[in-house]
Amino acid sequence: MTENTRAGLEGWLRYADELGLGPYYRDRAASKSFPSAPAAAPTISVAATASAASAQFSAAAPRRSPQSSAPEAAPAKLTPLIQAPSGPSLFEERIENDSLERIRADIGDCTRCKLHKARTNIVFGVGNPKAELVFIGEGPGHDEDIQGEPFVGRAGKLLTQMIEAMGLKRSDVYICNVVKCRPPENRLPEKDEISTCSPFLSRQLAVIRPKVICCLGACSAQTLLETNQGISRFRGEWFDYRGSKLIATYHPAYLLRNPPAKSEVWKDLQKVMSVLGLQPKPRR
């Protein structure tokens, strides 16, 4: 290898590291099933339309605008921060005539990963199967494991408030998680658990085909965007995820520990509202 080639390669590897892609380049054998050349998917950032940065999610409920009268927000910035995978699927080919029922049936009484050992219920997902907006968390907690429904505990109540502050009901949106079984002691899902379970998430999204995907927390954002970057590097930015607009924001559980971050999340939700044509109601 010539000096020039070596210097060039080192430059690319440093660049990949800065983008959080280092592990991909170093462990290519381990990531065989990932697309080798994701098409460019530039980041777009949509300008927030409403101020109310102080909203604490319990504000008077905004109402839906008549038939999305809000102007489609223009891409304000193009930043090649992360390239979201654009192929049919990271994990499997698209399944013809797929449906949420079929995906649930395929999951069955799953024992594919170790999370099955301690779970009470598989937490598949709830909400509108034709939702324009899908929220994705990381994995069920204790309450979700018992009830078999995502986001029903303390963090879930806050998510419900967030949804209602956007002028929506829980039943308008779809809510699910990256992994469908509770990680013990509420630990983060592990890599093997995510790679085993996330094909089902990918199928859910392919069936619902939402206009907007809102990733709650780093786990779901990093899984869908295939990045190791910290969420604060790209929170609030828009990405393309196979035809859906994807935005990541902080997890409601984080907001319970760090309430001042609610104003940041509210800004992100306002961007979602802008894309979906939801009008914030003036506060009384």
The reply on whether position 127 binds ligand URA by CB under 6 A is: no
Closest CA to 109 of 161, 188, 180, 9: 180
User: At residue 134, what is the residue type?
Assistant: V
Q: Which residue has its beta carbon closest to ligand URA?
A: 137
The reply on whether position 156 binds ligand URA by CB under 6 A is: yes
User: SS3 letters for 169-202?
Assistant: CHHHCEEEECCCCCCHHHCCCCHHHHHHHHHHHH
Q: Which stretch binds ligand URA (CB under 6 A): 1-9, 78-86, 96-104, 140-148?
A: 140-148
The reply on whether position 55 binds ligand URA by CB under 6 A is: no
| SS3 state at 153 | coil
CB neighbour burial string for 200-210, b if at least 16 within 10 angstroms, e if fewer: bbbbbbbbbeb
* Shortest distance, position 169 Cβ to ligand URA, whole Å: 18
The reply on whether position 162 binds ligand URA by CB under 6 A is: no
User: Residues 52, 84, 155, 246: which binds ligand URA (CB under 6 A)?
Assistant: 155
The reply on whether position 145 binds ligand URA by CB under 6 A is: no
- Paired with 213 in beta bridges are 134, 246
User: Residues 132, 144, 226, 237: which binds ligand URA (CB under 6 A)?
Assistant: 144
DSSP 62: P
Report the alpha-carbon distance of residue 220 to residue 226 in Å, rounded. 10
The reply on whether position 132 binds ligand URA by CB under 6 A is: no
Q: Pick the closer one to ligand URA by CB: 158 or 165.
A: 158
Q: Pick the closer one to ligand URA by CB: 240 or 268.
A: 268
Report the alpha-carbon distance of residue 205 to residue 220 in Å, rounded. 13
* Shortest distance, position 165 Cβ to ligand URA, whole Å: 19
User: Residues 85, 140, 183, 280: which binds ligand URA (CB under 6 A)?
Assistant: 140
Instruction: Kindly list the distances between the CA atom of residue 69 and the CA atoms of 37, 65, 237, 277, in Å, as whole numbers in the listed order.
Output: 37, 6, 23, 6
Binding site for ligand URA (CB under 6 A): 137-141, 144, 150-151, 153, 155-156, 177, 253
